[in-house]
Amino acid sequence: MVTAVSTRLRRSTRTHDEYVVRVGRRKVVATVTAHAGAARRWVHATRWRLGPRLCANGVATVGMGVQWTPPFRRATVRPGTLQLCAGHRCLVLQLARADADANAAVPAALRRFLADERVVFVGYGVRSDCCKLEEHHGLEVARTVELRSLAGMGNTSMQRMAEEHLGWDGVTTKPREVGTSRWDARRLSKEQVQYACVDAYLSFRLAVHVVAAPEPDATSSTSSSE
């Protein structure tokens, strides 16, 4: 049975858009922003929710992904977005806007979060993503785990992993026209938000399932992203 995925805009402010992405019966609140202040608030709220986990055994898991616009005329591939997911909260940071908007600089709080050795960032092809983040934005990620290695499924697709480990069929179906769209756009489409959010959320869910770790924010899945 195909697991239904849907996305709706919950609110829009001067600094960010907030979406609700439903994956089956689960709800993820996604903050989409190019604004340093909004990203900083998301990081602070996430650190607070991860606190008990960090105190318990000194490590927390965060799903991670990067999207980019396919290069034209052999131009350099630059990250368009960085998406992070912890529990039922996701950040889609529009990195491409950092090159064009003075308010879109990557906040120091996010740099420290990525460099925190107590936080493990899990993703599909995460090493390649981290190389691009460091090359183009000077973002250093201290600890990463490749999702395929963690799941012990070799070079299989994320969709197959979701089916095998979570019983979710069709969740990671990725329309090519969305994957190859303009991730450097000033405002992302609803389809782009869903694409990016599901990518990071599945990385998080698969990591939690495989290592049987408790989820952070388990009692706050319906709360605001800030």
pTM of the complete model: 0.86
Domain-wise residue ranges, the chain: 5-211
Q: What is the DSSP letter of 53?
A: H
Structure tokens at 93: 């940071």
- Residues 185-223 as b or e (16 or more Cβ within 10 Å = b): eeebeeebbbbbbbbbbbbbbbbbebeeeebbbeeeeee
The CATH number of 5-211 is: 3.30.420.10
Residues 6+ apart with CB under 8 A from 195: 67, 174, 175, 178, 179
Q: Which of 7, 50, 51 is nearest to 29 (CA)?
A: 7
Residues 6+ apart with CB under 8 A from 188: 32, 81, 92, 94, 196
Helix (H) or strand (E) holding 161: helix 158-161
pLDDT per residue as tens, the chain (226 positions) = 567 889 999 999 999 999 999 988 889 999 999 999 999 999 999 999 988 766 666 789 999 999 987 776 556 778 899 999 999 999 999 998 865 665 567 899 999 999 999 999 999 999 999 999 999 889 999 999 998 887 666 677 777 787 777 777 766 666 778 877 889 899 999 999 999 999 999 999 888 887 754 455 443 333 344 4
For position 43, what pLDDT does the model report? 97
d(CA 33, CA 18): 9
Q: What is the DSSP letter of 202?
A: H
Count of H helices and E strands in the chain?
7, 8
